[in-house]
Structure 1
Amino acid sequence: MKDHKKIQYNLFRADLYRILALGLDTPTSKTLGELKEIVNDLWKEFLPLKEFASVLSKVSVDEVAQESLRLFSTKVACPSCEGSYQLVERGPILGDVTAFYKAFQLQFLTNEGPPDSIKMELAFLSYMALKEAFALEEGLLEEAQTTFEAQKKFLLDHLGRWGEIFANRLQERTTHGYYKTLGSLLKIWLKKEFDFFNIQPFPLPISLPQLSEEEVQCSL
């Protein structure tokens, strides 16, 4: 018998990760339009989205794009790649993250940015939640369990270790409501996911508090 409740929850999880990935992608009319559509459909199911829905209704692509450039590109006020928050060499991190993607047939495109970027790691978990929902729908219980365990491990080894650090820095380095709200939403969602998987990822030992905006790079 299909577990319809579990299927629906994984579809919901996929949408939440999709919202966060799109929100932290390079802003365009297309990405903001898709964001508004998903958020408007979903906020009643997850009230922390309500504030973001309100912000989305008021912002323009140009203003969000300008702030995105300042935060993540021009001065890198808020590094958006996992490797920037690690004390170890970045190569093994990139290798491990990419291995997760390849193991589950996620095609990584170099023009989408570094594989350890926040948007790619969020997009991967959106994809995995969809993959688990599909496996459950088809009655492929072993595949569903494998996908579940992989998400749990990815949070423990990667996103769960630096996502909150990134979110805190994002909120510290911006005054724009769009990114302030996204930072808050990311923290709330990660806590919910930790509870869902019954895990407590060990935070990375660095939060970049003393780095100037020019000192951190996030590129391949």
Structure 2
Amino acid sequence: MDKIESLATQSGVDGALQRRAEQAVYRAQVYAFLSVVHLYPSENWSEDLPLAAAAVARVEGAPPWPEVQPMTQEALQMAYLRAFGAAGSLCYETEYGLPHEYRQAQELADIAGFYRAFGFTLGGAVRERPDHLAVELEFMHVLALKEAHALLTGVAEQAELCVDAQAKFLGDHLGVWIELFAQSLALNTREAPYLPLARFTVEWVRADAARLGVQLASRNRKEVNHTPFDPDFSCAACPMVDLLR
């Protein structure tokens, strides 16, 4: 945190704002780690578990860190496939509880609108839909970092804009379905690391929402129907399917 202290000193930021910025940075670190957890492990993120646990420990009001141990990348990949399957369809917000496929497109557009407003673009090495859990977690990471930077550079209005966006995104999107995701994952696996970290993610999002004054309703998977099938968001729309028939 030496860079934060240096920037705070240069900008004349008082101690209270500096502590708030530090909290935002630690929250950003946790969101970034959880984002990587919910993607196929092309790298061994489990080696960073101690760093993630240390960041969580520094966040006020954070839930307890789960008992998860580092493992080999091969073991991590096998655990991922057992938990999520090859398609990883559990990880998409708009697969849960929408009344029809047209609403799915509307929700995707709303999520993308959040991203555009804060210069968050999709693409690069990892290409996913905007409603993928890893993408939504990464967006919260970006918002927290932007909040910290605004605080440290004395742009209070920009910092509050980032805070409001975090609250609204949790209330409208990430916080609405994260519990349903963890419940669904529990049907596939009971083993570490994915189920304990999914449950931690639920508690982390809930705690962060409470900090921001957002009340999240508890939802039960059994009371939520899957969003009706839309071939535009499935393998059925791929031309390769016809070759296999």
Q: TM-score range by the shorter chain?
A: 0.7 to 0.9
Q: Does 1:69 align with 2:81?
A: yes
What is the CA-CA distance between 1:71 and the residue it aligns to? 3.2
Alignment of 1:1-220 (within 5 A): 1-2=13-14, 3-33=17-47, 35-36=48-49, 38-39=51-52, 41-42=54-55, 44-45=57-58, 48-49=64-65, 51-52=67-68, 55-56=69-70, 59-74=71-86, 76=88, 79-88=90-99, 89=101, 90-109=104-123, 111-202=126-217, 207=221
- Change in Cα spacing, 1:189 to 1:87, as seen in structure 2 (3 Å) is same
- Change in Cα spacing, 1:129 to 1:216, as seen in structure 2 (3 Å) is same
The range that moved more, 3-12 or 172-181, is 172-181
- Change in Cα spacing, 1:177 to 1:95, as seen in structure 2 (3 Å) is same
Checking the alignment, whether the CA contact within 8 Å between 1:15 and 1:126 is kept in structure 2 is yes
- Change in Cα spacing, 1:210 to 1:128, as seen in structure 2 (3 Å) is closer
Task: Give the TM-score taking structure 1 as reference length.
Answer: 0.83
Moved >6 Å (runs of 4+): 209-212, 215-218
Checking the alignment, whether the CA contact within 8 Å between 2:115 and 2:121 is kept in structure 1 is yes
Structure 2: tracts of 5 or more residues without a match: 1-12, 236-245
Q: CA RMSD in A?
A: 2.9
What is the CA-CA distance between 1:102 and the residue it aligns to? 0.7
- Change in Cα spacing, 1:43 to 1:17, as seen in structure 2 (3 Å) is closer
What is the CA-CA distance between 1:171 and the residue it aligns to? 2.8
- Change in Cα spacing, 1:5 to 1:174, as seen in structure 2 (3 Å) is same
Aligned partner letter, 1:131: K
Structure 1: tracts of 5 or more residues without a match: none
Number of aligned positions between the proteins? 211
